[in-house]
């Protein structure tokens, strides 16, 4: 797990809040790790654009087929 400490802290939340908290943390991990996962800056820009577009689609009611985006849409 990429964010073990926060995951463990999330387990202390009331059950009805856990899924939302985990979805938000997963999104944070995805965005924060872009710089470490790409070899060229342009690839990082493309990944960030993917997330920008995904959030726009979520708000438009057209959830992308991505596990993190699906959970974010539920929040």
pLDDT (tens digit per residue) in 41-64? 999 999 999 999 999 999 999 999
Number of folded domains that form the chain: 1
pLDDT in tens, 7-26: 899 999 999 999 999 999 99
> CA-CA distances (angstroms) from residue 74 to 20, 24, 25, 71?
8, 11, 14, 5
Q: Identify the band that residue 1 occupies on the pLDDT scale cut at 50, 70 and 90.
A: low
The model's pTM is 0.83
Q: How confident is the model at residue 27 (pLDDT cuts 50, 70, 90)?
A: very high
CA angle at 67 for the pair 61 and 69, rounded to the nearest 5°? 35
Supply the range of the domain harboring residue 11. 4-74
């Amino acid at each position: 797990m990429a964010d073990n400490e926060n995951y463990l802290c999330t387990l202390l939340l009331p059950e009805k809040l856990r899924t939302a908290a985990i979805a938000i943390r997963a999104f944070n991990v995805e965005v924060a790790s872009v710089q470490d996962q790409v070899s060229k800056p342009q690839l990082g820009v493309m990944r960030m654009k993917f997330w920008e577009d995904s959030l726009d689609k979520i708000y438009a009611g057209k959830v992308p087929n991505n596990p993190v985006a699906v959970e974010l849409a539920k929040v």
